[in-house]
Structure 1
Amino acid sequence: MPTEWNLFADLAERAGDKHVTVDADAGDTVGDALDDLLAAAPELEGRVLDGDGDLRSQINVLRNGTNVLVEEEGLETELEEGDELALFPPVSGG
């Protein structure tokens, strides 16, 4: 079953859509789904990954509203059927 990424702010602008569907399935990891997202929308790569190919520290990755980098197993978090993924750029206050 495909997984959908919800993209916010300039990430959605770069990808050309707020929603991008990838082929990650239950049992795959959030990292697998992120790889699929970057393959589908390569213009996001420079914004999401640093020069070493690691996730930029200010990017937030959510699974069902929970930040996987803080409250779960990071990009190794396993997907379950029906998960909703979201990618947020840095949020500045104001």
Structure 2
Amino acid sequence: MDWRLFANLAEAAGTKRVTVEAGPGDTFGEAFEQLLVAHPELEAEVLDEDGEIRDHIRVLRNDHDPFVKDAGHDTVLEAGDELALFPPVSGGAR
């Protein structure tokens, strides 16, 4: 399963795409843990002092937040899922 990383998160990891061992039948939480094991430098960027995903970090599974539409960390992954991690987005039209 691949994670797509954006902006400063891609810079911190040194790559825009990270492949982890998690696959269909594994959970989103397992895939997220594997991402942090592969790139521990991301921990300070995405986790708060309690080890939870920071409020301003956005995670996506197939273009939606698994903590809103699915079962959060317990969301079971399916073949073809796309996972992504975004920092806060700013800017826009004036």
When normalised by structure 1's length, the TM-score is: 0.91
Q: Distance in 2 between matches of 1:90 and 1:71?
A: 20
**Contact 1:60–1:69 at 8 Å: present in 2 too?**
no
Q: How many residues align?
A: 92
Provide the alpha-carbon RMSD of the alignment: 1.0
Q: Distance in 1 between matches of 2:68 and 2:10?
A: 23
Unpaired runs of at least 5, structure 1: none
Deviation >2 Å, runs of 4+: none
Which letter does structure 1 place at the counterpart of 2:67? L
Give 1:68 shift. 1.1
Match of 1:47 in 2: 45
Q: Deviations over 1:35-67 (max 9, x none)?
A: 000000110001111111111111111111111
Residues 25-40 of structure 1 aligned to structure 2 (within 5 Å): 25-40=23-38
Equivalent position SS for 2:34: helix
Q: Distance in 2 between matches of 1:72 and 1:87?
A: 16
Unpaired runs of at least 5, structure 2: none
Residues 4-83 of structure 1 aligned to structure 2 (within 5 Å): 4-83=2-81
Answer 1 or 2: which has greater strand percent.
1
Match of 1:87 in 2: 85
Equivalent position SS for 2:68: helix
Q: Distance in 1 between matches of 2:87 and 2:28?
A: 17
Q: Distance in 2 between matches of 1:93 and 1:35?
A: 30
Larger Rg: 2
Equivalent position SS for 2:85: strand
- Counting aligned pairs with the same residue, the percent is 60
Q: Distance in 2 between matches of 1:62 and 1:92?
A: 18
Give 1:93 shift. 3.0
Change in CA separation of 1:93 and 1:76 when aligned onto 2, cut-off 3 Å: farther
When normalised by structure 2's length, the TM-score is: 0.91
